[in-house]
Amino acid sequence: IESSVDSGGDYCKPQSIWNFADRCDYVRSVDACEGGGYLSWTVYVYCSEDEVAKWFIVAAGVLFLLILFLMLSTSADDFFCPNISTIVNKLSISENLAGVTFMAFGNGAPDVFTSLASVVSSPSPRADLALGSILGGAIFVTSIVLSGVVLTRPFKAAVWSTLRDLAFFIVTIGFILLVF
């Protein structure tokens, strides 16, 4: 690219280019702008001259994301929760133990395996991205999901269990930050 913007590096910053043609060339030539996946969203958005087409692409992406969330929630309701309930009933496990083990594993396993698959299958693995994804998921669950549960159905939390879990979470994050 014959442009004043550096096309190398690990970052994709097409917003810093004002000329439409240069911006499109930049997005097509910089590897970091590829984004991965099956669709090249950055190319669609930055190389389309029609503003209506850009907004249509973004709206279609949001609609597709909503459909994926709907499919995920349906499969969890129809397959995951009944299986966990059956295992808990057959093994006569308490709800607390089931929540700590089975539900936590069922909630976290896809994140861990997806992050591992993305690191292993990539020609230039980015462990920081996988780690950020896992930590982001944990922080989302402990903040947004927990607050949603509290707002929907108030309950009295066991102080000892909450402090224990919080202490282990803080120690784990500290260990991860130390290692990486």
Same domain, 64 and 112: no
What values do phi and psi take at 14, rounded to 5?
Answer: -70, -15
25-44 per-residue burial string, b: 16 or more CB within 10 A, e: under 16: bbbeebeebeeeeeebebeb
- 33 and 112 in a single domain? The answer is no
pLDDT digits (tens, 9 = 90+) for 105-160: 877 788 888 888 877 877 777 777 777 878 888 888 888 888 888 888 877 878 89
Which among 7, 44, 46 has a CA at the least distance from the CA of 24? Answer: 46
Q: Are residues 100 and 177 in the same domain?
A: yes
Please give the Cα distance from 91 to 173 (Å, whole number). Answer: 33
- The tally of domains found in the chain comes to 3
pTM attached to this predicted model: 0.52
In this structure, the answer to whether residues 13 and 63 fall within a common structural domain is no
Tell me how crowded residue 69 is: count the other CB atoms within 10 A of its CB: 10
Side chain identity at residue 24, one-letter code:
C
Same domain, 105 and 180: yes
- Alpha-carbon span 57 to 44, nearest angstrom: 7
pLDDT of 49 above 80: no
Same domain, 27 and 54: no
165 and 111 co-located in one domain: yes
pLDDT confidence tier of residue 8, bands split at 50, 70 and 90: low
Do 59 and 112 belong together in one domain?
Answer: no
In a shared domain, residues 28 and 57: no
Under the banding of pLDDT at 50, 70 and 90, the label for residue 67 is very high
Residues 113 and 164 in one domain: yes
Helix (H, G, I), strand (E, B) or coil at 11: coil
What is the structure's pLDDT at 36?
Answer: 66
Cβ pair 70, 79 in contact under 8 A: no
pLDDT tops 50 at residue 1? no
38 and 115 belong to one structural domain: no
**One domain, residues 63 and 125:** no
Mean pLDDT on 66-94: 88
Chain centroid, CA 166 distance in Å: 22
Q: 104 is written with which tokens?
A: 């936590």
Residue 3 gets which letter from DSSP?
S
The pLDDT score that the predictor gives to residue 15 is 74
Give the residue numbers spanning the domain of 19.
1-49
